[in-house]
Amino acid sequence: MSKKIVIARNTSWSLVNFHSGLIKDLSEHGFEVLGLAPEDRYSACLSVLGCRFIALKMDNKGTNPFKDLLLLLRYFIILRKERPNIYLGYTIKPNIYGSFAAHLLNIPVINNVAGLGTAFIKGGWLGYFVRVLYRLSFYKSRKVFFQNDDDLKLFLDNGLVSIDIADRLPGSGIDLDKFTAVPMSDKLQLRFLLVGRMLRDKGVYEFIEAARLLNKRGVKAEFLLLGFVDVDNHTAISELQISDWVTEGIVRYLGTSDDVREQIAAVECVVLPSYREGVPRTLLEAAAMARPLIATNVPGCRDVVDDGVNGFLCRPRDAKDLADKMQQMVSLSSAERKAMGVRGREKIEREFDEKIVIEKYLEAIAEIVKKN
């Protein structure tokens, strides 16, 4: 009889885009894999990966305690019915409420902390409450993976997780056979691409202001945005605002894409002026495709970008410094930018290969199975 594993996230899209390799590997190792997330148009894709999908209604961004209690009950009912051997939790609510339910049912839990969320970072009563919930939900977990050293240290310093179960992963890893190095053009007018959800926290406003500054300086470059307009997030940038920027002629909006390789291959530099990250997948994918990077000197981003080696780091929330770094990228020769891209690819191969992540999960899972 095969062992059963639940992988829970806040969207089916992220299960497909971030965990396809892990799902396939677990299936090949004889595990029955269940994907637990809100239903969206990506849910049907999970069966192709060998994963049975279970729809779970969830208010991703809300803080209503009654809705969260209802979510906890939904997790409990599903997990009691399925009785998986292991529960893998990702993102805030699956980590907290899914873990609570699993602990109540004595189901072993492995958590993954990929970024902290706005409430955690800003503090206040909500930040304090989230920390309490993390502490309570992780106390019986068998393993808690973190995607960068800053988040790991923060949780340890605040007593939110035991050092005995905490470990570090290189993000969600990158499939190096899918994201391959692509030759870069020698185009004189550089194209800068920001890939991510259209949120204030991703540094979109700083990107736009930096583009304005470069235009005023007479720097010839093209500025592109690619990503979802997330209307459910309180830091979301409206479609109207993006339309105004496009009309102004400052940026081109490319909409959304299920496969960003084409858009990354068509540019000379990928930019992410985010305020804080776990380990940003957009930078990993761009570096894997041998593109130089510009990102903020914050947790997560600085794990991927070695300043002056495979890109440049700029100050967070500082459009002028971002513009300076973009101008510095323009001033490099084509050969120098290509060399940065090659060094980025080498770094991804060395540190962020998806196989490293999968192997760590298989080791943690094997240890749990052995003890149980």
What pLDDT, in 10s, does the model give residues 83-133? 999 999 999 899 999 999 999 999 999 999 987 665 566 667 677 778 888
Please tell me the predicted confidence (pLDDT) of residue 215. Answer: 96
Whole-angstrom CA distances from 214 to 137, 209, 226, 249, 316 are: 47, 9, 20, 13, 18
Answer yes or no: do 65 and 143 share one domain.
Answer: yes
Answer yes or no: do 223 and 319 share one domain.
Answer: yes
Answer yes or no: do 340 and 297 share one domain.
Answer: yes
Which range of residues forms the domain containing residue 328?
190-351
Q: Is residue 267 part of a domain?
A: yes
Answer yes or no: do 317 and 358 share one domain.
Answer: no
Please tell me the predicted confidence (pLDDT) of residue 2. Answer: 67
Q: For residue range 38-65, list pLDDT tens digits in order.
A: 998 899 999 989 899 999 998 776 667 7
Please tell me the predicted confidence (pLDDT) of residue 114. Answer: 83
Answer yes or no: do 44 and 143 share one domain.
Answer: yes
Q: What is the CATH number of the domain that holds 91?
A: 3.40.50.2000
Q: How many domains does one find in the chain?
A: 2
Please tell me the predicted confidence (pLDDT) of residue 164. Answer: 94
Half-sphere exposure of 77 (CA within 13 A, CB side): 10
Q: For residue range 142-189, list pLDDT tens digits in order.
A: 999 998 888 899 899 989 999 999 999 988 889 999 999 999 988 888
Answer yes or no: do 94 and 167 share one domain.
Answer: yes
Q: Is residue 183 part of a domain?
A: no
Core vs surface per residue 203-215: b (16+ CB within 10 A) or e: bbbbbbbbbbbbe
Q: What is the pTM of this model?
A: 0.89
Q: pLDDT exceeding 90 applies to what percent of the chain?
A: 74
Mean predicted confidence (pLDDT) in 285-314: 96
